[in-house]
Structure 1
Amino acid sequence: MPRLLGVDIPANRPAAISLTYLYGVGNKTARELCNKAGIEPTVRASELTEDEVARLAALLDKDYVAEGQLRRQVSQNITRLRDIGCYRGIRHRRGLPVRGQRTKTNARTRKGPKKTVAGKKGVKDLR
């Protein structure tokens, strides 16, 4: 299983597809990487030699922002939004949808599984 930028990429998939497992690398970028490194995009990742993996790693470091660097940039941007107190920053702080999604119903995907609160059973009659 080849390892690029600290991530194990799947060995049983074509090289172009397995490169998309890196954060910030999509289909187009993965194909560009394969072409620049001189690797056939359809060859399996397990069949890549150490030299080819090293070429891919060098290209990723030199020409692209991916994985750790990109995650830090995104994190810094969210921190900046929170600090200036803009609408998007407030939504991030409260854990609500940021990009205009509705919150009226069926928000379980964003909010996670339902959290039950103890002590909310029905009130007994005091007769």
Structure 2
Amino acid sequence: MSYILGTNLNSNKQVKIALTRIFGIGPKKAIQVCDQLGLSDTIKVNKLTKYQFDQILKIISQNYLVDSELKRVIQRDIKRLISIGCYRGFRHNAGLPLRGQRTHTNAKTCRKLRYVSIRS
């Protein structure tokens, strides 16, 4: 196991697949990082050198918001929506779906959680 940006990467997986374990790095960004470094598509994590790990860390930290930074930005955006009192902020606060999904038959889990939190 290799440890990078607070995430354990599986040593037996390809680099482009293992990088997707980092919060904020999806398949497309993982492929972009590999292309910037000139890594092969089939190279595995356990075949990387220390220098290549440092380069991956450098590229990700310079170009992308990941892990705790990204979570902080998301939470700040949600708090902003709640504070300005918009519809999406209200739905976040109530624990309901935001984007127009129906709640009569679906979204039972969030309605159940809302019921528990209101009663507590």
TM-score normalized with structure 2 length = 0.84
Partner of 2:40: 40
Identity over aligned residues, as a percent? Answer: 37
Matched, 1:96 2:66: no
* Structure 1 position 39, deviation (Å): 1.9
Give the partner amino acid of 1:103.
Answer: T
The 1:33/1:83 distance shift into structure 2, 3 A limit, reads same
Q: Give 5+ residue unaligned stretches, structure 1.
A: 117-127
Larger Rg: 1
Cα distance between partner residues in 2 of 1:108 and 1:3? 37
State how many pairs are aligned. 115
For 2:65 and 2:41, locate their aligned partners in 1 and report how far apart those are by CA, in whole Å.
21
**5 Å matches for 1:56-75?**
56-75=56-75
Separation (CA, whole Å) in 1 of partners of 2:2 and 2:38: 17
SS in 2 for 1:20: helix
Given that 1:16 and 1:31 are in contact with CA atoms closer than 8 Å, whether structure 2 keeps it comes out as yes
- 4+ aligned runs moved over 6 Å, structure 1: none
Name the SS for the 1:8 alignment partner: strand
Q: Distance in 1 between matches of 2:108 and 2:21?
A: 26
Alignment of 1:1-127 (within 5 A): 1-111=1-111
Computed over aligned residues only, the root mean square deviation of the Cα atoms, in angstroms, reads 2.0
Report the secondary structure of 2:21's partner residue: coil
Letter in 1 for 2:77: N
